[in-house]
Amino acid sequence: MAPDDFAEFVRGRHVELLRFAYLLCGDRYLAEDLVQDALERTGMAWHRVQRQDDPEGYVRRTITNRFLNRLRALRSERLVGDPPERGYVDREPPDHALWHLLARLPRQQRAVLVLRFYLDYSEAQIAQTLGCSTGTVKSTTSRALAKLRQQLPANSQLASVEKGAS
């Protein structure tokens, strides 16, 4: 049985963690799996995690790492040609073009952008979360933004804002 403070943490942060995971992977069901897995791992180590005084950071790091390492886990699964039927269709974010471009980025670039612009993490926090140097974070962010800008239609609202900002 989970400690009361862990259950309270889950109740208070679950929706935000799901939103974060969804932005990271772009799939509602995978996001739910990532959050569930991260919370399981956190619950088993709750006393140690709580002593670090940043349980949410621990869970977000776990979600991010599980997302980035997912390909290794998929290698051992048996993939099928047809996905199962879906009873519920997710609503897409308002900017469909940008969402699709973000979904096409490599996992590491997408993770860096989500951590930077959704969670507003500093480069140092991202480097700590991903276990890399701040230089790697800077170059990955630069490449990801360049790729997005290159693929944005010239008439999109974001492209106009980006050109005005430079």
CATH number (domain holding residue 123): 1.10.10.10
86 within some domain: no
Q: What is the pLDDT of residues 45-89, one digit of tens each?
A: 898 888 888 899 999 999 999 998 876 666 655 656 766 665 545
CA distance 159 to 64: 28
Number of independent structural domains in the chain: 2
Enclosing domain of residue 106: 91-166
Give the HSE-up count for residue 46: Cα atoms under 13 Å, Cβ half-sphere.
14
Q: Which two tokens stand for residue 74?
A: 């998929």
84 within some domain: no
Do residues 67 and 138 share a domain? Answer: no
Q: What is the pLDDT of residues 30-45, one digit of tens each?
A: 999 999 999 999 998 8
